[in-house]
């Protein structure tokens, strides 16, 4: 199916994370990854922030493919049913920055068979995040 020939039925993807580590996640995503808040939904009773993260896609993996990706990136099956994959301009710099702001290193960067440099970190709530850099852009 040609994606350009069909009108897009979804205009935006929002992933909502509920956390007891709100300050730590805000620091990791806003300071560690440098994402500026697009909206703040904060009052005296509760807090929320909307972070605009550019283009979004939804990847649906069967268990075998998830195991393959985990094997390539980490060496064994470790991620849960949800894992973020965020494209960054420099993986090694991004990893150093998010670790300085609350992430835990799961596995250092590796080069994938599809030409990306990937590293895996985990946020304070345990969500695994693949940070990836496209090494060779197809023309």
DSSP string covering 57-95: ------HHHHHHHHHHHTSS----S-EEEEE-S-HHHHH
Any domain includes 73: yes
Q: What are phi and psi of 99, to 5 degrees?
A: -65, -40
Any domain includes 11: yes
**In the prediction, which pLDDT does 2 show?**
56
CA distance 102 to 124: 7
Under 8 Å between Cβ of 91 and 132: yes
Any domain includes 55: yes
Range of the domain at 59: 3-134
Any domain includes 111: yes
**In the prediction, which pLDDT does 3 show?**
55
Sorted by sequence, the CB contacts under 8 Å of residue 115 that are 6+ apart come out as 134, 135, 136
Reported as half-sphere exposure (CB side, CA atoms, 13 A), residue 2 has a value of: 2
Number of domains in the chain: 1
CA distance 136 to 132: 12
pTM of the model: 0.86
Nearest by Cα to 66 from 51, 55, 78, 50: 78
* pLDDT tens sequence for the chain (139 residues): 555 556 778 888 889 999 999 999 999 999 999 999 999 999 999 999 999 998 898 899 999 999 999 999 999 999 999 999 999 999 999 999 999 999 999 999 999 999 999 999 999 999 999 999 999 765 4
| CATH number for the domain harbouring residue 69 | 3.10.180.10
CA distance 25 to 31: 10
**In the prediction, which pLDDT does 12 show?**
84
Q: Please, what is the Cα angle at 86 between 82 and 92, to 5 degrees?
A: 120
Any domain includes 139: no
């Amino acid at each position: 199916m040609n994606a350009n020939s069909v009108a897009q039925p979804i205009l935006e993807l929002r992933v909502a994370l509920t956390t007891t580590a709100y300050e730590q996640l805000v620091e990791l995503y806003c300071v560690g990854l440098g994402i500026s808040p697009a909206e703040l939904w904060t009052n005296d009773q509760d807090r929320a922030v909307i972070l605009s993260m550019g283009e979004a896609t939804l990847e649906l993996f069967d268990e075998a493919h998830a195991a393959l990706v985990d094997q390539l990136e980490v060496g064994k099956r470790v991620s849960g049913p949800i894992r973020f994959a965020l494209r960054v301009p420099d993986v090694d710099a991004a990893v150093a920055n998010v670790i300085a702001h609350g992430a835990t290193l799961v596995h250092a960067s590796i080069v994938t068979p599809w030409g990306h440099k990937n590293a895996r970190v985990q946020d304070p709530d345990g969500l695994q995040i693949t940070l990836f850099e496209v090494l060779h852009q197809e023309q």
